[in-house]
Structure 1
């Protein structure tokens, strides 16, 4: 059964990014009723701290050493990376925090971006991604309007970071949908919400 993996990165179930994800998934289900929707809520999912066995295993792998003593701990990272690699489509819904991504999403990235797991290094070729490309949609909600990449001199650092880290592990077919503003006067918020909803419905039909 084909699978859509949804990385849900907001701690608030009623957040704008979560609402956008629901709109997209509802539309996606109508077109793909036979698909499995695997929801990974990063605020409820067990994610190991990037320390101890996982960190030791990473450096052991980087140095070409065995890591039997750290195998059990590293298995958690392997399981999370496998869950991503088995997905035919990926949806990431996240708020923008302090111009970047929430620390839970960064923790997920740090756990799965491992040598020999999602990338490898060859002295003559450099870094080589290990995941196959797949259509990926990233919904980013922010208090301000970052649809042009900048707002009053402030830079959206979440979008370029996610684009680059996904490319690093092999995922290049990535589309971004910005939701904003989500704070301030009601009229701009509702207008942005309406525009985004229409766009997500249209994207769900062909994703």
Structure 2
């Protein structure tokens, strides 16, 4: 199996629970091909006019600016990585109720008509990544799993809506660690239990013969 791990937190594990989750997954995954795409280490210009200008210049044969070349190359790399993967694992925090901006750029890069979705003759959206699976490893210091707070959670929900809904990928695992900031007295237990679940996910995906 080819697994792509999208790491979306550049804070050290000593300070960031989702980084701990990433490290726990990588430590326990064996017997498969694993590639990490670190959104904070990659050159990822934000989606905007530079990309659309680049598309136009490719079509017309005009010379592109440096940023136009960079964003086209970054977008292609993200799509190539997803194309090569059978499973995409997203490791990310909830920041200000949503995903980190760099992770948003990764999603923007692969969110392309003709690649991850298309429209049929009736104008209906058709997912194109139905042969792929995805998993979520996410941490949030507050509690967003109650009926009152769930509507505010726009990180894991967003990834599931886009990858699972629009792209047609199958969600196979989801580990959420939450409440460690809201309940500091229980933080150590909350994090340890969550990391144990991450380890179990990694071991379940491993292809190791005894």
The runs of at least 4 consecutive aligned structure 1 residues that moved more than 6 Å come to none
Q: Secondary structure at the match of 1:173?
A: strand
CA contact (8 A) 1:57 1:67 kept: no
**1:56 Cα deviation from its structure 2 partner:** 4.0
Supply the RMSD in Å over aligned alpha carbons. Answer: 2.6
Cα offsets for 1:41-97 (capped at 9, x unmatched): 111111133123422466x7xxxxx46547955343222111112112221111101
Q: Which residue is equivalent to 2:8?
A: 9
- TM-score norm. by structure 1 comes to 0.81
CA distance in 2, matches of 1:113, 1:188: 39
CA contact (8 A) 2:51 2:72 kept: yes
Q: Which residue is equivalent to 2:208?
A: none
CA contact (8 A) 2:18 2:92 kept: yes
- TM-score norm. by structure 2 comes to 0.80
CA distance in 2, matches of 1:148, 1:195: 19
Q: Secondary structure at the match of 1:79?
A: helix
Moved more, 10-19 or 43-52: 43-52
CA contact (8 A) 1:85 1:132 kept: no
Q: Which residue is equivalent to 1:81?
A: 79
Judging changes above 3 Å, is the alpha-carbon distance between structure 1 residues 119 and 56 closer, same or farther for their aligned structure 2 residues?
A: farther
Moved more, 187-196 or 127-136: 127-136
CA contact (8 A) 1:146 1:180 kept: yes
Unaligned runs of 5+ in 2: 206-210
**1:174 Cα deviation from its structure 2 partner:** 4.2
CA contact (8 A) 2:140 2:178 kept: yes
CA distance in 1, matches of 2:133, 2:204: 11
CA distance in 1, matches of 2:106, 2:154: 17
CA distance in 2, matches of 1:75, 1:194: 39
Alignment size in residue pairs: 196
**TM alignment of 1:136-147, pairs within 5 A:** 136-147=134-145
